[in-house]
Chains A and B, each alone.
Chain A
């Protein structure tokens, strides 16, 4: 029988910090719908510092400083697109920058892709549960009708959601070597 350690790769310090950051962000996001700067800014600095140690050759576990810097800039840039267009929270952008600095661009984008896909599936299931069988008529009426129904922020199905937990799911899948590409 296989042990859990067979599935888990040797976790670097920065990846472990990323897990802790995502766990705290999930808790605060679910509790108060906020991802605090007190969490994200120090996490970015810690990620860059750990990557600096790797670049200096003081440790081999983790990503290099260039990858970390690319993670901060690129992940922040990618997350700025939905932020600037939808007027959503900047907490998610700063969280992406923090995770990007800790595990690098590729791992973060994969984790966030998984997070968004799982969140979308959750929303569809929530839509069906809240609207019941009658709600399914929106699917029969076509995508535009469904779109209109989920786009009403005042309704229960259109209420904005906290995404940190879904990003944590994506990160967990990534750490279990479940790669999207």
Chain B
């Protein structure tokens, strides 16, 4: 990628002030957002449950 093409991309990006989004993009990002929310909420619970069970499995050191 040459300097000229990078410059052209930046200028095009700067000139683009459009605020519209394609419907399919909105749907895909919304699905991704739901998955992210699920991972962030359920993921924490799953992680703490696994850690608890791991600690139970390990038991206490008797040495």
Residue of B nearest to A121 (CB): B30
Known: A117-B33, A117-B34. A25 touches B26 (CB 8 A): no
Asked whether, in the complex, the Cβ of A119 is within 8 Å of the Cβ of B18, the reply is: no
Which residues of chain B have C-beta atoms less than 8 A from A34's C-beta? 17-19
The stretch among A1-9, A134-142, A150-158 that forms the contact with chain B is: A150-158
> B interface, how many residues as a size bin?
20 to 34
Asked whether, in the complex, the Cβ of B27 is within 8 Å of the Cβ of A92, the reply is: no
Known: A113-B37, A117-B30, A120-B30. A90 touches B16 (CB 8 A): yes
Point out residues on A near B: beta carbons under 8 Å.
25, 28-29, 33-37, 82, 85-93, 95, 112-114, 116-117, 119-120, 123, 147, 150-151, 153, 157-164, 180-181
Instruction: Offer 6 A-B interface pairs, CB within 8 angstroms, sorted by A.
Output: A34-B18, A86-B22, A95-B19, A153-B23, A160-B20, A181-B37
